[in-house]
Structure 1
Amino acid sequence: MVNERVMEKLGILADAAKYDVSCSSALSNRKNKDKGLGDAKGYGICHSFTEDGRCVSLLKILLTNHCIFDCAYCVSRKSNDIKRAAFTVDEVVELTIGFYRRNYIEGLFLSSGIFDNADATMERLVRIAKKLRQDHNFNGYIHLKAIPGASDELLKEAGMYADRLSVNVEMPTEQSLKLLAPDKNHKDVIKPMEYLKNEIIGYKEEKKLNYKAPLFAPAGQSTQMVIGATKESDLEILGMADYFYQKMSMKRVYYSGYVPISHDNRLPAIGTPVPIIRENRLYQADWLIRNYGFNVNEIVGFNQPNLDLDIDPKLGWALRNLNQFPVDINTADLDLVKRIPGIGFLGAQKIVAARKFKKLAPQDLQKLGIAYSRAKYFLAFASPFLLQKDLTAVQIKDQILDSQKSKYKNDFSNQLSLF
């Protein structure tokens, strides 16, 4: 049974952890009344996804929200008047094991404010992971924050116990970090990333030669950028993300829209949060870079440094490159088929596999689950009636947006009819 004081800490430190978007929160406000069975409050429970698509629940908390830094964008900054709390090592271990045994969670996502210095904080995080692995034989997923400025020895030990490590770059550019977090140094962020990259590669090579070699951060490393606290364009943000993917072998870059929490004149005014659609468009663009073979400069450029919020980045690219369309899906290579709006990664693979057996027609695409109402503007079939080549980019965009509005309106009407 978790005591009252630990539950109070859990409420404070789970709430403070929600600003780290490495996994999405899924909290319920349904409470256990009159000593009933079960509890759906789920403090700090979040969902993450494995490489094979499984969804896992993680206990997502800070070790402490005490911090020696005064980063303007951070709710845990030292100058902020908030309720402070700190877990002991044993409290985090007992919470993790207790929640795991009750089948609430499958792992732990643990971050922390810097309560003394980088090494002291990192040592405490490592001690928790080590105790879970060695004393309790815990084999669930563990994601630890790698604290910038911590020693290589502690980072190496962290990698021996954690599945994933993450060093948050926080701001998209060095200039922004200096502006909003003058106590921090951009080099202190890049240095541990490089160290972890080299260690991960080294241990993978060793594993090939000796299957008994230990694991080292087998799920790789990730990072997070706060967007909208400063005036970087999407071109700058995606350029930095691409650098991390190319040079740091990063598994994921996460984008966290700034939530106004301060009247600091360096920050956007209270009441003007970053539109959630901007986060969404950045993730879509990120996905195109990682999985569809797009270059950053194909998605955004000096002439258009920000993503169009009305349409997704792949449709935006297609409308700017109508000279590459229409495409004959019966002959085009896989990479080009993947670039057609309305056709996803798996859809393109299905098309290439299916066309080996017959010449595909529009009705075949619909059977394959392709969003034909969107894709039709970029496809060439034998019938001239189906060729959409006379429409301008603006006309295509307007027709697609009108079609989306009609679909949402119909879906909403159908849902209302159920009641």
Structure 2
Amino acid sequence: MDDALKTKLGILADAAKYDASCASSGAPKRRAAKDGLGSTTGAGICHAYTPDGRCVSLLKILLTNYCLFDCAYCVNRRSSNVRRAAFTVEEVVTLTVEFYKRNTIEGLFLSSGIIRSPDHTMERMIRVAKTLRQKHGFRGYIHLKTIPEASPWLIEQAGLFADRLSINLELPSEASLERLAPEKDGAAIETAMGQMRERIAEAKEERRRFSPAGQSTQVIVGADATTDEALIRKSAALYDRHDLKRVYYSAFSPIPDGTAILPLKAPPLQREHRLYQADWLLRYYAFTPDDVAQAAEGGMLALDIDPKLAFALKHRERFPVDVNTADRELLLRVPGLGVRAVDRIVAARRHARLRLDDVARLTSGLKRARPFLVAADYTPGGLGDRLDLRTRLAEPPQQLSLFG
């Protein structure tokens, strides 16, 4: 690799780190092929995990960090004083193939600033994916960040070659977009999401390939005054309307030469973590947005306890629940019990009444669950009514890394 290409890679890999929506969850498992290159099995490298536990390493870069837009929160905005660079299509293809041959990556995450026009930028990104697939037989995972202003025909083309497509919502309200990203249109973004959902659904019915790992989006946390409750309600609406695979939450990071309308400090990274936990409750634990709102205080999720525990502490009248008789939905509300643990409990109690030791063998979260459950040989007594229960169950402070 020559020095000029190394310099570009350093700039454009670093510029891509602010995009959190880089994951391959939902990708089909591929088998090695004699006539193909790459597999999604097991300076710009990100790691993602598939549902079956495989770790996938992706080359995560921007095609260019030049941009026509001037979004206040973006380090690559038009008015930003950052080093600029741009890859050619051939350079991205070469990097992807060479990194794969060195066993460094198993796929590509490609985004870009907007250059010349949305259609021009989208065309170049499609050329990267198409060249990898058709010329090099690349069978690795490809995630393309699409541009909502690009023509629907180009989005259709992108879905033919990418495993996943995503359109970043960035900010959850039209008012915030008008204030911080006036060149973006929230309605246009959602229209593009809706069109993408239709194409994905049609392809499944017709058994043809189009973005088989679905679509995702990203919202920025802490760049505006949006509450956690509002963010979760927006996410729930997006899941419902557009069948998204994931909503990613990216904590705002103060940028060089930022405008006065932006916060001076980044939000606590624990806030981002709590939003992911709340999002998980929506998708896997049958919580509603109203349930999550009840776990919040003044619209904000607590930082010292997770949203599931916060919900249980606010609804002590619903607990403790009997592990031998409670239905699955109620068991999913017990802090410390995950989906797998609940399914194991439901299966095991068909054969015998469960004691506390039995529950301990089925979950690693018994310490947190004890005040909220009843077993054949155990009741929490006054433990569930202790005024210091929140303090006892609160998580110790953690050192979190924004890009770790």
TM-score norm. by structure 1 comes to 0.87
Determine whether 1:266 maps to 2:261: yes
**Partner-residue secondary structure (3-state), 1:300:** helix
| 1:67-106 matched pairs, under 5 angstroms | 67-106=67-106
**Partner-residue secondary structure (3-state), 2:142:** strand
CA gap 1:390/1:189 in 2 versus in 1, 3 angstroms:
closer
Partner of 2:13: 14
| 1:30-179 matched pairs, under 5 angstroms | 43-179=43-179
Work out the CA distance in 1 between the residues paired with 2:91 and 2:311: 51
Determine whether 1:283 maps to 2:276: yes
Partner of 2:36: none
Q: Which of 217, 230, 241 is 2:224 aligned to? A: 230
Work out the CA distance in 1 between the residues paired with 2:52 and 2:205: 22
**Partner-residue secondary structure (3-state), 2:322:** coil
**Partner-residue secondary structure (3-state), 2:385:** coil
Q: Deviations over 1:109-134 (max 9, x none)?
A: 00000011100000000011001011
Conserved 8 A contact 1:318-1:341: yes
CA gap 1:390/1:260 in 2 versus in 1, 3 angstroms:
closer
CA gap 1:96/1:391 in 2 versus in 1, 3 angstroms:
same
Conserved 8 A contact 2:372-2:384: no
How far is the alpha carbon of 1:395 from its aligned partner?
2.5
Work out the CA distance in 2 between the residues paired with 1:313 and 1:277: 12
Work out the CA distance in 2 between the residues paired with 1:154 and 1:388: 62
Q: Which has the larger radius of gyration?
A: 1
Work out the CA distance in 2 between the residues paired with 1:341 and 1:380: 13
Partner of 2:206: 206
Partner of 1:397: 390
Partner of 2:32: none
4+ aligned runs moved over 4 Å, structure 1: 382-385
Conserved 8 A contact 1:17-1:61: yes
Q: Deviations over 1:285-318 (max 9, x none)?
A: 0000000100011111597411111100000111
Work out the CA distance in 2 between the residues paired with 1:91 and 1:278: 38
How far is the alpha carbon of 1:192 from its aligned partner?
1.2
Partner of 2:26: none
Q: Deviations over 1:321-370 (max 9, x none)?
A: 11111100001111111110011111111111111222111111112233
CA gap 1:19/1:390 in 2 versus in 1, 3 angstroms:
closer
Q: Percent identity?
A: 49
Conserved 8 A contact 1:89-1:128: yes
Q: Deviations over 1:44-98 (max 9, x none)?
A: 0101122322110000000000001111000000111111000000000000011
CA gap 1:256/1:4 in 2 versus in 1, 3 angstroms:
same
How far is the alpha carbon of 1:389 from its aligned partner?
6.0
1:291 alignment partner AA: Y
Does 1 or 2 have the higher relative contact order (CA < 8 Å, sep 6+)?
Answer: 2
Conserved 8 A contact 2:355-2:378: no
How far is the alpha carbon of 1:284 from its aligned partner?
0.1
Q: Which of 305, 308, 313 is 2:302 aligned to? A: 308
Partner of 2:2: 3
Work out the CA distance in 1 between the residues paired with 2:147 and 2:384: 56
Conserved 8 A contact 1:379-1:387: no
Work out the CA distance in 1 between the residues paired with 2:396 and 2:12: 41
Work out the CA distance in 2 between the residues paired with 1:78 and 1:333: 55
2:44 alignment partner AA: G
Partner of 2:335: 341
**Partner-residue secondary structure (3-state), 2:340:** helix
**Partner-residue secondary structure (3-state), 1:225:** strand
Partner of 1:23: 22
Conserved 8 A contact 2:148-2:167: yes
How far is the alpha carbon of 1:187 from its aligned partner?
2.0
CA gap 1:118/1:405 in 2 versus in 1, 3 angstroms:
closer
Conserved 8 A contact 1:326-1:389: no
How many residues get paired?
377
Structure 2: stretches of 5+ with no match in the other structure: 24-42, 399-404
Work out the CA distance in 2 between the residues paired with 1:290 and 1:371: 20
Partner of 1:377: 371
Work out the CA distance in 2 between the residues paired with 1:373 and 1:183: 50
Work out the CA distance in 2 between the residues paired with 1:104 and 1:179: 41
1:89 alignment partner AA: V
**Partner-residue secondary structure (3-state), 1:224:** strand
CA gap 1:390/1:238 in 2 versus in 1, 3 angstroms:
closer
Work out the CA distance in 1 between the residues paired with 2:164 and 2:388: 46
Work out the CA distance in 2 between the residues paired with 1:175 and 1:390: 43
How far is the alpha carbon of 1:161 from its aligned partner?
0.3
Determine whether 1:216 maps to 2:210: yes
Work out the CA distance in 1 between the residues paired with 2:53 and 2:329: 23
Conserved 8 A contact 1:123-1:154: yes
Conserved 8 A contact 1:107-1:141: yes
CA gap 1:221/1:390 in 2 versus in 1, 3 angstroms:
closer
TM-score norm. by structure 2 comes to 0.90
Partner of 1:29: none
Determine whether 1:328 maps to 2:322: yes
Structure 1: stretches of 5+ with no match in the other structure: 25-42, 208-213, 409-419
Partner of 1:414: none
Work out the CA distance in 2 between the residues paired with 1:259 and 1:296: 27
CA gap 1:232/1:382 in 2 versus in 1, 3 angstroms:
same
Conserved 8 A contact 1:161-1:217: yes
